[in-house]
């Protein structure tokens, strides 16, 4: 079984990832449950945070210790892949590599507001990694000079991730009149590069190519069942008894 945790980064995952067990953005306990359910490979793209306990590094180590391949990309998956790469988690794509080599360090660079699953995970703000990727494209409209791109990026960085919309960014760029700001917003939207989606699709391809069996080999390190880990197991077992 191949389990993919994804939401706003790839809202059409059901179409783009046939054959994968698609589950919503991961929170604490979800990866453990995927291993318990029999997953041989787990792909982590999106994960909950801020209002819920995020997916725990210990769950990733547990999965790896059980021979499960764990891949991460684009969003929460890229962060966890960089943090757990020494233990065998594999980062996929440009964003994961940037966190691994230290080019990216702030977890807010991949964060964005989005609608719930019931509304198709629609994006409400733009993640900084997509904004930067947009400005680095070689074939932007002629008016996008290096100086203007630098000012757009600076404006985006000044905004909290919950406020990063193309309109808010354009409003913060010093331009002579409202008409130019409206045109800038329109051109940014038309030229937008969705780097997170690109990386998520690379992860889907890697999962699809995986044999779908757990590795018989075990890592050189030993998984430690700490008190906090046993607490999680107790909570999960209690949930099972409720149903």
11 lies in the same domain as 101: yes
Question: Do 99 and 205 fall within a single domain?
Answer: yes
pLDDT tens-place string over residues 161-209: 999 999 999 999 987 777 778 889 999 999 999 999 999 999 999 999 9
* Residue 210, domain extent: 2-105+198-234
In angstroms, what CA-CA distances link 188 with 23, 125, 161?
Answer: 32, 13, 17
- Residue 156 near residue 164, CB atoms below 8 Å: yes
User: Is position 241 within any domain?
Assistant: no
Q: Which residue has the higher pLDDT, 85 or 176?
A: 85
**Rounded mean pLDDT of 63-87?**
97
pLDDT digits (tens, 9 = 90+) for 35-73: 999 999 999 999 998 888 899 999 999 999 999 999 999
The answer to whether residue 123 is domain-embedded is no
Q: Does residue 243 carry a pLDDT above 70? A: no
Tokens 């000079």 appear where? 145
Same domain membership, residue 85 and residue 61: yes
Same domain? 160 vs 80: no
Specify the number of domains making up the chain: 2
Mean pLDDT of the chain: 94
User: For residue 91, what are its two tokens?
Assistant: 């980062």
Does 149 share its domain with 90? no
For residue 239, being part of any structural domain is answered with: no
More confident residue, 140 or 204: 204
Angle at 44 between CA 197 and CA 98, to 5 degrees: 60
Whole-prediction pTM: 0.93
Query: 242 falls in which pLDDT band (50, 70, 90)?
Result: low
């Amino acid at each position: 079984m191949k389990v993919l945790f994804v939401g706003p980064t790839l809202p059409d995952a059901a179409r783009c990832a046939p054959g994968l067990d698609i589950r919503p953005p991961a929170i604490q306990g979800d990866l453990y449950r995927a291993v318990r359910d029999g997953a041989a490979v787990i792909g982590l793209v999106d994960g909950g945070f801020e209002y819920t306990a995020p997916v725990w590094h210990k769950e990733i180590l547990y999965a790896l210790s059980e021979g499960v391949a764990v891949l991460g990309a684009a969003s929460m998956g890229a962060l966890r892949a960089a943090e757990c790469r020494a233990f065998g988690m594999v980062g996929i794509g440009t964003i994961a590599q940037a966190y691994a080599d230290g080019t990216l360090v702030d977890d807010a660079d991949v964060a964005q507001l989005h609608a719930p699953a019931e509304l198709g995970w629609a994006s409400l703000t733009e993640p900084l990694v997509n904004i930067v990727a947009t400005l680095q494209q070689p074939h932007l409209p002629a008016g996008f000079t290096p100086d203007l791109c630098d000012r757009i990026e600076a404006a985006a960085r000044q905004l909290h991730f919950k406020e990063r919309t193309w309109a808010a960014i354009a409003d913060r760029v010093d331009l002579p009149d409202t008409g130019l700001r409206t045109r800038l917003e329109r051109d940014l939207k038309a030229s937008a590069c969705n780097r997170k989606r690109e990386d998520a699709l690379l992860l889907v391809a890697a999962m699809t190519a995986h044999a779908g069996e757990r590795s018989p080999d075990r890592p050189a390190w030993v998984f430690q069942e700490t008190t906090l880990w046993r607490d999680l197991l107790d909570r999960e077992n209690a949930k099972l008894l409720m149903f």
